[in-house]
Chains A and B, each alone.
Chain A
Amino acid sequence: MILLGIESSCDETAAAVVRDGRHVLSSVIHSQIASHRPYGGVVPEIASRAHVGAFPVVTAAAMEQAGIAWRDLDAIAVTHGPGLVSSLLIGLSGARALGQALGKPVWGVNHIEAHLAGMFLAPAAPAPDAACPLLALMVSGGHTCLVEMTAVGQYRILGQTLDDAAGECLDKGANLLGLGYPGGPAIERAAQGGHPDYVHFPRGLEHARHRTTDNGLAIDMCFSFSGLKTALLYHLKKHPEELDGHRADLAASYQQAVMDSLAQRVERALAVTGARTLACVGGVAKNALLRGKLEALARRHSATLILTPLAYCTDNAAMVAAAAGLRVLAGLDNPPALEADPSLPLVGE
């Protein structure tokens, strides 16, 4: 089974060809980082404009690099949500047109499920059947949540951010520190040599207990990052001189607070679920400090750790094709890709 994956939910235009849900024949990504950098974050209108030009180029390159003919494809898998609707529409329209031209089915893939499938793209990663049940931390610029995965297509959200995503928090912190965009790598670079205890920034919801959110999630498995960003803002207003003398210390302290918040919730979730496998997916999964914290947690809880290969942490289309392929192999249907849904929930909860 050979699938063409297409991803355009945010600021990356990507296409990939994947065989049997795990073997990547090609993966092409057109990054728009340079276009968004002047604004310190993703500008939806810039993203949408860029997707239109990049879609045919990226798709043709993925097919060429895979070395297969169009007729060899069994189906097309495209992200249909969640994401920026004006960006989703481009990939969706292109995929549907390709499907019509080729007479192949076009399946809609949930972006979060695609990130979860990305963890199985490492050649050494266990098969989903062997890895599940598992606890996954999904952490990126647009999403931050804890997911219990009992099988392909079987997901339960244990907790999620109540305000900003972790990656968004890093972008905003990098903006305040004058480090540029994207914030995650910028803060990680700036933090090298800095003292992570220089300022103790708040870990959102650190002391929350015995409460649930409106949608029934336990507060102590949820995340909050807006207070952290505000704390940095007020710290800099009070100590503007530290931007010159202590930028590395501030970056290190801020990064430490974000990664501590994530690791605390992961530890609680490990204790509650008793999961023996821990995974981390999404763009922030590239962060070395977070990887180190998760490795330590996994050791402490005797859990196997699956870290998404670095090439498939940030948005890509291989994970999209993988998600659809794994569903087929698990005997599940993929929904037809009809409409873009910016708030598409992770089904199977």
Chain B
Amino acid sequence: MKVLAVEGSTEQASLALLLDGTVVATEAVAGGRRRSQGLFVGVETLLSRAEWTLEDVEAFAVGRGPGAYTGLRVSLTAVQGWALPGHKPVWTVSSAAAVAAEWFAEQPTPGPVVVSGSARRDTIWAAVFEPQAGGGGCRTSDWKLLAAEARGGEWPDLPWVDPRRVPQAEWVGRLYGTGLASEACQPIYLHPAVAIAPRFAADGRPVPEGA
């Protein structure tokens, strides 16, 4: 199975090609405002290095965060665009699961671990992952939003993965086929879309102030 994996939840986005679970090639994608451009240039560089074409790719794996919304939206939409004409499967997993999988693979006796990342405005997101038999790991807690200085205060008995470790596309790709269920093809949103209260009810009538 030829898989193209995409991870765009941080400024250090990446792409990877995998053949039957083995990494064939990887490509770093420049972040920032030109992220979208970098992704499309990067995938061509990556494919040509492996001497593959998009037509050769049989399935796509993509990280859905938590992380930077714009990067996630671009990568999730791009993957769907690549997959649509050939009706190819798109498999979606949290980017944090990719971080956990990489960490588990480095431990002689892996156990539960906390994965965290920046949620901006002096906050972090965090969740507990536990290793699973087929490889990688499952999230066993809710996503939590914490004050950045509270890192370590929550789940004090568990190790925390170094927050500087960013999710890599190759680990998103390695999780494909490990038995983890594909998740919704939408970024993981830990903040509501709107900070203000609705002004109108569903029937269009104004909502009284303070209601």
List the interface of chain A (C-beta within 8 A of B): 34, 37-40, 43, 45-46, 48-49, 51-53, 55-56, 59-60, 70, 86, 89-90, 92-98, 100-102, 175, 178-181, 186, 338-340
Interfacial chain A residues near B82, Cβ < 8 Å: 97-98, 100-101
With CB as the reference atom, state the residue of chain A lying closest to B80.
A56
Interfacial chain A residues near B70, Cβ < 8 Å: 86, 89
Interfacial chain B residues near A92, Cβ < 8 Å: 36
Interfacial chain B residues near A89, Cβ < 8 Å: 36, 70, 73-74
A-facing mask of B167-211, CB < 8 A → 1, else 0? 000000000000000000111010001101011111011110000
B59 at the interface (CB under 8 A from A): no
Query: Are A98 and B36 closer than 8 Å at their CB atoms?
Result: no
CA distance in complex: A59, B187 (Å): 20
Interfacial chain A residues near B128, Cβ < 8 Å: none
CA distance in complex: A184, B78 (Å): 34
Query: Are B85 and A70 closer than 8 Å at their CB atoms?
Result: yes
Q: Which of B40, B43, B84, B202 is A37 in contact with, Cβ under 8 Å?
A: B202
* Interface size range on B against A: 35 or more
Whether A52 touches B36, Cβ cut-off 8 Å, given contacts A46-B194, A178-B206, is: no
Query: Are A53 and B74 closer than 8 Å at their CB atoms?
Result: no
Q: Which of A46, A97, A175, A180 is B79 in contact with, Cβ under 8 Å?
A: A97
Q: Which of A51, A97, A340 is B40 in contact with, Cβ under 8 Å?
A: A97
Q: Which of A46, A56, A98, A102 is B193 in contact with, Cβ under 8 Å?
A: A46
Query: Are B194 and A97 closer than 8 Å at their CB atoms?
Result: no
Interfacial chain B residues near A102, Cβ < 8 Å: 85
List the interface of chain B (C-beta within 8 A of A): 34, 36-37, 39-40, 43-44, 54-55, 69-70, 73-74, 76-86, 185-187, 189, 193-194, 196, 198-202, 204-207
With CB as the reference atom, state the residue of chain A lying closest to B47.
A100
Q: Which of A48, A60, A101, A102 has the most CB of B within 10 A?
A: A101
CA distance in complex: A96, B39 (Å): 10
Q: Which of B43, B54, B200 is A40 in contact with, Cβ under 8 Å?
A: B200
**Minimum C-beta distance from A53 to chain B (A):** 6
CA distance in complex: A51, B69 (Å): 13
